[in-house]
Amino acid sequence: MRLSRSFLPVMKESPAAAEIVSHKLMLRAGLVRQTAAGIYAWLPIGLRVLTKIEQIVREEQDKAGAIEMLMPTLQSADLWRQSGRYDAYGPEMLRITDRHDREMLYGPTNEEMITSIFAGEARSYRDLPRTLYHIQWKFRDEVRPRFGVMRGREFLMKDAYSFDLDEAGARNSYYTQLLAYLRTFQRLGIQAVPMKAASGPIGGDLSHEFIVLAPTGESEVFYDAAFDEFDWAQSGLSYDNAAGLEKLFEQVSATYSATDETHDEERWTKVAEDRRRTGRGIEVGHIFYFGTKYSESMGLKVSGPEGTMVTPEMGSYGIGVSRLVGAIIEASHDDAGIIWPDAVAPWKVGLVTMRGDDPATVAAADDIYARLQAAGVEVLYDDRDERGGVKLGSMDLIGLPWQLVLGPRGLANGLVELKNRRTGEKQELIIDDAINRLT
């Protein structure tokens, strides 16, 4: 992408209304623009990040055996009356009446709808287990939307729903999603600590929330260093290994982790002092096992192996995809701007010409741009007619993992500068070596 032809409106100063780091940087770096209270348009660079996060979430759900579908954003109020949640949910639900006076709502979640759909198709125990998911925009009418995408009214969410014949199967589905979540967040380049949580309006008696560690997080966090040390992706644990998944759950449950709301000082003192970790965190995911709460109220029954009718056990599993963009920035930034983890960076490298009025520099940059693109490297090429300092400042703000900087003086000696955005390390390399490093 040539920056001169892109739509990437970078701002020099943070808007006064932005209170937290991620909101300020998402506006300054041109990721989003607010269109109404708590509602944002995703500009090209923001959409690239959002799409990469969404794809990693999708890939890990698919590996865990979940099946993707897509449900509508608008739902019938009758579905929610059937479950008993229509009046109980509260004013956060946006209620709508269509032209035929039918009561509708903009879905904040999809337990009722997915249960109704599955009930219309599932007939016997042979149709179980199943876990269905979608990635869809949702709406909750927050009384005070703030902090940008961290607490907006419209948001992109992955929500999955499991259906099992009995509690043992449902718990296995829960443990499967627990592992999928740990692997998802690890792939995203962030640390997310699982913590036992209250189920809230979703219901049920088994629930974990996932907290991303960030200095500006909304909650204080206490946890055992074991969560820093475990490599979930390389654990070798299979989703088909029910005993292994249960052992993982027991390991997570036995390892201390809590927010300030659930912190147990007595249990905390039993954690070895050199293993105690504290900080702040942001919730980015939540999983629930709630038994027959929705299947019973929505009339979902299947014939069991013995021919008797069985009410399936259910769970639901949410990840705040759009919220993750803000959470990653909160966890990974410095005074100059964003520092994207490699997996979700909008481009891998920013290519900068320090002198846009020097034909030799421009020709060399054009050649490098073509070579990197041909090698499949995602490049943002700042070819604008701007001062070099302005371009470097923009690149630091945008936060791509690498910066490749060209100037007449270095090129005269056959050299370019390669900068690692995270560490700040700079190296002067010959052009071929720099390209090899990036490919």
- Return the domain boundaries, the chain: 3-338, 347-438
Q: What predicted TM-score, i.e. pTM, was given to this entire model?
A: 0.94
Average pLDDT over residues 157-176: 97
Question: Residue 306: what pLDDT?
Answer: 93
Of all residues in the chain, the percent with pLDDT exceeding 90 is 87
Among 9-18, 118-127, 291-300, whose mean pLDDT is lowest? 9-18
**Confidence bin at 385 (pLDDT 50/70/90):** confident
Of all residues in the chain, the percent with pLDDT exceeding 70 is 98
Question: Residue 204: what pLDDT?
Answer: 52
Question: Residue 280: what pLDDT?
Answer: 92
DSSP 91: T
Task: Specify whether the CB–CB gap between 187 and 56 falls below 8 A.
Answer: yes
Question: Residue 12: what pLDDT?
Answer: 86
Question: Residue 197: what pLDDT?
Answer: 80
Residue type, 394: S
Report the C-alpha gap between 347 and 438 in whole angstroms.
Answer: 12
Which secondary structure element, helix H or strand E, spans residue 24, and what is its range?
helix 21-28
CATH superfamily label, 347-438? Anticodon-binding domain (3.40.50.800)
Report the C-alpha gap between 107 and 121 in whole angstroms.
Answer: 22
Structure tokens that stand for 153 in this block:
């009214």
Q: What digits encode the pLDDT tens for the residues 94-132?
A: 999 999 999 999 999 999 999 999 999 999 999 999 999
Question: Residue 200: what pLDDT?
Answer: 53
**Confidence bin at 198 (pLDDT 50/70/90):** low
Burial of residue 130, with CB atoms counted within 10 A of its CB: 0-12 exposed, 13-18 middle, 19 or more buried = middle
Whether the per-residue pLDDT at 356 is higher than 90: the answer is no
Task: Specify whether the CB–CB gap between 260 and 220 falls below 8 A.
Answer: yes
Question: Residue 230: what pLDDT?
Answer: 85
Buried (b) or exposed (e) across 29-53, using 16+ Cβ within 10 A? bbbbebeeebebebbebbebbbebb
Report the C-alpha gap between 210 and 223 in whole angstroms.
Answer: 12
DSSP 354: S
- Locate all alpha helices (DSSP H) within 162-209, ordered by sequence: 167-187
Chain mean pLDDT for the chain: 94
Report the C-alpha gap between 181 and 287 in whole angstroms.
Answer: 9
Average pLDDT over residues 358-374: 95
Longest pairwise C-alpha distance within the chain: 83
Report the C-alpha gap between 95 and 350 in whole angstroms.
Answer: 45
Whether the per-residue pLDDT at 236 is higher than 90: the answer is no
Residues facing 131 on adjacent strands: 162
83 CB contacts (<8 Å, ≥6 apart)? 111, 112, 115, 294, 297, 298
* Planar angle of CA 38, 40, 45, nearest 5 degrees: 145
Question: Residue 215: what pLDDT?
Answer: 86
* Planar angle of CA 278, 236, 65, nearest 5 degrees: 95
Average pLDDT over residues 19-46: 96
Average pLDDT over residues 195-219: 78
Report the C-alpha gap between 350 and 398 in whole angstroms.
Answer: 9
What is the DSSP pairing of strand 402-406 with strand 349-353? parallel
Question: Residue 189: what pLDDT?
Answer: 94
269 CB contacts (<8 Å, ≥6 apart)? none
Report the C-alpha gap between 88 and 81 in whole angstroms.
Answer: 9
**CATH number among 3.40.50.620, 3.40.50.720, 3.30.1370.100, 3.30.930.10, domain 3-338:** 3.30.930.10
Report the side by side order of strands in the sheet with 94-97: 74-76, 103-106, 94-97
Among 138-152, 156-170, 332-346, 364-378, whose mean pLDDT is lowest? 138-152
Phi-psi region of 303 (alpha: psi -120 to 50; beta: other; left: phi over 0): beta
Average pLDDT over residues 136-146: 93
Whether the per-residue pLDDT at 329 is higher than 60: the answer is yes
Whether the per-residue pLDDT at 216 is higher than 90: the answer is no
Average pLDDT over residues 190-218: 80
Q: What digits encode the pLDDT tens for the residues 55-86?
A: 999 999 999 999 999 999 999 999 999 999 99
Question: Residue 255: what pLDDT?
Answer: 94
